[in-house]
Structure 1
Amino acid sequence: MGVDEFINYKTTDFANVAKDLDLVLDTLGGETLAKSLDLVKPRGRIVSTVGQPDEGEAKMRNIMVKSLSAKSNGEQLSKLAALIEKGSVKPHIGHEFPLTAQGLSEAHKVSESHHAKGKINIEIK
């Protein structure tokens, strides 16, 4: 298994290019996850970290689906909290919007695009 073609998601809808895939690793969910069912060949696989693929639809198409989720670990969370308090861990802020109707609307659009880099902040004054 390897990469046959790279797809720039900013300029190309992957559903118009990809087909007969062995595996889809979905980290976006929503529409991306739904489109993936049409692109995976029978006996292929879809693994999602953000949603549960439609198991009934996948079964009819002979596609294996799996949803993964992380489980929290108290000890690791305590260590992470200590690092945050020391200032060693800082999130990347990709977008900031004011706490207004327009600001919230724009923040929501960025979030739904699934292409935001970094965190989306709402500025409260």
Structure 2
Amino acid sequence: MAEHKIYKMSFSTVYPLYIKKVERKGRTKEEVDEIILWLTGYSQREMEEQIKKEVNFEEFFEQAPALNPARREVKGVICGIRVEEIEEPMMQEIRYMDKLIDELAKGKKMEKILRTEQ
């Protein structure tokens, strides 16, 4: 398995970029946090600790308390690749988060993003 640069990239450097991306579209940091907490099972405090420790993406996902099983329902294209067809598990986890943040920036309702809409 190829080691991608993003695996070793600090989550704390990308997190503010997620926030900037959605704020430009009228969404909020709180919504970004809600998505990340839903996806990973971290509490707000635990996520903030991970950011302070400057863990990389690989550590961030490996240490996640409970990856949400509903994340498998995330479908679509991110960075030109269908997220559901990504074979490398770590890359797929990262792209799930990218796709959810992208959906937020595109104005989707939180219920739909978090796959709770019936």
Q: TM-score, normalised by structure 1?
A: 0.20
Structure whose CA Rg is larger: 1
Q: TM-score, normalised by structure 2?
A: 0.20
- Higher-RCO chain (CA-CA 8 Å, sequence separation at least 6): 2
The structure with more helix, counted as a fraction of residues: 2
The structure with more strand, counted as a fraction of residues: 1
